[in-house]
Amino acid sequence: MSILLTGGTGTTAMRLARLLQAANKRVILASRKGAVPEPFSGVKFDWHDPATFPNPFAVDPTIESVYLVSPPGDPNVLGPMKPFIDLAVQMGVKRFVLLSVSTIEAGGPAMGKVHEYLISLGVEYFVIRPSWFFGIFQSLMLTSAYSSWAENFLTMHIQNIKDKHTIITSSQDGKIGFISADDIADLAFDALTRAESYNTDKILVGPELLSYNDVAKTFSEVLGITITHTRVSTDELQKMYIGRGVSEDRAALVCHLETLNAKGVEEQIFVHAKKVAGRRTLKSFVEANKDAWKA
């Protein structure tokens, strides 16, 4: 029996694929181009092209589980995802693991609608709701309105850290349980391979609750230079993103989430009853990737 990973060449799916391969699980990576790294099997799959939806099952009709990563750039993710989920059920898929975000519950916007739909189908499911990825300090492009957090948020941090030795946010003193993409992959692996399905959702946070002042201190210690946290208004932050080529809708979304941070929403999530804590620290991430922030 096989496991299909959508977003197959993305941040979490590639880590997950390696874990599955190491466990001798048959895994297929679905991506828009269909080209995947060796030794994995890939298939062309595009959320916005329903003609590609049967492709995974043509390659391997024994697919029983699917890792769902929502399509980039479209807040209305249920629209393109529902037809594929329906087809997958028809083709014998028993279990779905959905990558969502910490602040969205079942029935909420974007992945919240997909979460709700999976429950309504009565299939085996698990929804991972991670906090903000460590990778926000490396990424260069905002690729999705809600998903792929390792690629999306605070896009300009890498350049600001390298050129100006600062991190610019409107999160004020709000604290966040930053999470590693490796911890997300670990939880997804467990959810996809365990005998009994969880049939619930879990909020995944890192082992530490950090403000951006704390983050700046960690970067300073590891990089050996002084990194500061520059506080700006939401309007100023939004203008900065738009000035760097981010669409108005996506810039507005990021700023909205920063406003939630400033209000302590992520701090509340850190102690939520559905919380699961990862084990990798921000410091270990910065140490492992410190060359990325060198000027």
Q: Tell me the mean pLDDT per 10 residues along the chain, length 295.
A: 94 95 97 92 96 97 97 84 98 97 91 97 97 68 39 58 92 94 96 98 96 95 96 94 81 85 94 94 89 81
Distance CA 181, CA 16 (A): 9
What angle do helix axes 248-262 and 234-243 make, rounded to 10 degrees?
150
Amino acid type, 168: I
CA–chain centroid gap for 233, Å, is 26
Which of 87, 140, 78 is CA-nearest to residue 106?
Answer: 78
How many C-beta atoms lie closer than 10 Å to residue 192's C-beta?
Answer: 23
| List of residues 6+ apart from 265 with CB closer than 8 A | 103, 174
Q: What is the pLDDT of residue 160?
A: 87
Distance CA 151, CA 143 (A): 7
DSSP readout, the chain?
-EEEESSTTSHHHHHHHHHHHHTT-EEEEEESS----TT-EEEE--TT-GGGTTHHHHH-TTEEEEEE-PPTT-S-THHHHHHHHHHHHHTT--EEEEE--TT--TTSSTHHHHHHHHHHHT-EEEEEEE--BGGGGT------SSS-HHHHTTTTHHHHHHHHSEEEES-TT-EE--B-HHHHHHHHHHHHHSSS---EEEEEE-S--EEHHHHHHHHHHHHTS--EEEE--HHHHHHHHHHTT--HHHHHHHHHHHHHHHTTHHHHHHT-TTEEE----HHHHHHHTGGGG--
Q: What is the pLDDT of residue 291?
A: 86
DSSP secondary-structure letter at 133?
B
Q: What is the pLDDT of residue 144?
A: 42
Q: What is the pLDDT of residue 156?
A: 62
Q: What is the pLDDT of residue 292?
A: 82
Q: What is the pLDDT of residue 73?
A: 66
Q: What is the pLDDT of residue 152?
A: 31
